Structure 1
């Protein structure tokens, strides 16, 4: 009987660990603290994401990070997965991140995405309280740790590289390595193989010395405060159709569910910085008053275009 009860507790614990969402009141980010105590934002705790504004100090010691193996095609295969909360690309070994003020070498383990809906932006971090359409996170684990569980107990156990994603009309052929596979992982639990490609081809490689740095947490349960965040200033650009594949064609439910639910607005709310230092790298170009122009996507220009057209037509 005791063994049965113990087994039941393990099963229940596992089910609960999967039971979080983004849009339902009983399981959305504001309710995560009820299920995962470390997600409850207490005073002075270092939660993510945060808003980035011009109140940042430049750190002259923050140079470009060294991205080992990002510019070559790795051996083996990668796996793209829909886990019901995001689309995750699990990568093989051979890539690591170091330098740029990081305390160790960090091995790259996966990247994933956060996005909004057909008419809403969905980056996790914001700039002057405004969101980009999407955000990509490359997750790297400190080399001294045997697994992620151990790393989450270390305040600097993970180094996450964050990239804002903005929208233009031209297709991003390099991003196609991922977007062309999305139809195979439309539903929760689905996976597909991805042929490795140089990860650097996704990134703004000519602007990798321009970034923001702070210490924070995972933006998903268990919300462990174990992350060194590096957020790059220059975004990745993809097409409208590539964005729509995420906002309209990915589902948080299984394929055979009675009612399929689109996976949308999978971002956590903004948290206070409190006493944390948020730094700019040596080459970051942030200028006071320029934040309003830094991430105005084509979508955010639409209301302005409509107003201008209305004024023009009214004068005809």
Structure 2
């Protein structure tokens, strides 16, 4: 599917890479609306990202999505690129997403990442007000559209699968197929080839029926409100060292820039749901107990519970 590969250069970046940023007042997310009206939070009401809390509705019809080709090794090569705003992997053709309440079949185009800094978390969506260290987005375009321009005129033109990323001490071997290549795309504009692998290996394959669903927007300019969001409840786990490769070794500037700038905190701020319905899949835990909390928060909660039990037993 040649057209799918070509779309990569249109999807990310969606606008001139000099037109927006994350860390300078004149072009950060709060200023995007000055140049891109659809990004203005007071003019439009379907913005992303949002906070996921207990104000959600269970939908028994939301079951597994069908991820066609995700278990297979695709032909050719994938391309990893630093576009100055994120690290993006173009996956070409051969994969699609359907079912699970999606209104159509969507062709998979690319995936990219959002992260924080060496001492701060950086997922775009939050869970009960808490951020995970990273968030991965798999971008898919409705198959009936010939190009992105047409998809951006469709209220459900894109389907994005979002995955929270948390940290443990051991490396994620599958994720290493990407992280080991990051040194080749450290600076803006750099690209490298990646040998395709089963994309399902990156995902929480045993918990793929647990997710949240809502209608929102792109989280980068032009902030088009055309996205069917599917956010998976169970995170992907990588190591601290793999996380550090993003937060400390990726730059938003070109290699020959007078002053190189680390690419950090590349996430958009949280927006109000404005009464939008956020649905919970049939098997999701609905943020029950510590299930919806980042690992560090879950451990803190466990410590509090254990401490409380110790105090009570000593009374």
Return the TM-score normalized by structure 1. Answer: 0.88
Q: CA shift at 1:190, angstroms?
A: 0.2
Aligned 8 A contact 1:21 1:85 in 2: yes
2:160/2:230 contact within 8 Å kept: yes
Aligned to 2:31: 31
What does 1:1-316 align with in structure 2 at a 5 Å threshold?
18-42=18-42, 45-288=45-288, 290=289, 294-298=292-296
Taking a change above 3 Å as real, the CA distance of residues 301 and 19 of structure 1, as seen in their structure-2 partners, is farther
| Deviation for aligned residue 1:298 | 4.0
CA 15–162 in structure 1, closer or farther in 2 if over 3 Å, else same? closer
Gaps of 5+ in 1: 1-13, 306-316
RMSD of aligned Cα (Å): 1.9
> What is the Cα deviation at residue 42 of structure 1?
2.2
C-alpha distance in 1 between matches for 2:50 and 2:28:
18
Separation (CA, whole Å) in 2 of partners of 1:245 and 1:59? 38
Q: Is the 8 A contact 2:287 2:293 kept in 1?
A: no
SS of alignment partner, residue 163 of structure 1: strand
Q: Distance in 1 between matches of 2:48 and 2:153?
A: 16
| Cα gap change, 1:105 to 1:278, in 2 (>3 Å) | same
SS in structure 2 opposite 1:18? coil
SS of residue matched to 2:247: helix
> What CA distance in whole angstroms lies between the structure 2 residues aligned with 1:299 and 1:178?
27
Given the two structures, how large is their TM-score scaled by the length of structure 2? 0.88
Q: Work out the CA distance in 1 between the residues paired with 2:299 and 2:81.
A: 33
**Shift of the alpha carbon at 1:211?**
0.1
Describe the superposition over 1:132-168 as per-residue Cα deviations: whole angstroms up to 9, x where unpaired.
Answer: 0000000000001111222111110000000000000
Q: Give the Cα–Cα distance (whole angstroms) in 2 for the partners of residues 43 and 261 of structure 1.
A: 32
Tell me, yes or no, if the aligned pair for 1:88 and 1:112 is still in contact at 8 Å: yes
For the 8 Å contact 1:52–1:128, the answer to whether it is kept is yes
Structure (1 or 2) with the larger CA radius of gyration: 1
Count of paired positions: 290
The one-character-per-residue Cα deviations of 1:281-301 (angstroms, maximum 9, x if unpaired) are 00101255x2x5533334996
| C-alpha distance 150-260 of structure 1, shift in aligned 2 (>3 A) | same
CA distance in 2, matches of 1:278, 1:299: 23
1:243 is paired with a residue whose SS is helix
176-185 or 40-49, larger mean C-alpha shift = 40-49
Note if contact 1:36-1:221 (Cα within 8 Å) is conserved in structure 2.
Answer: yes
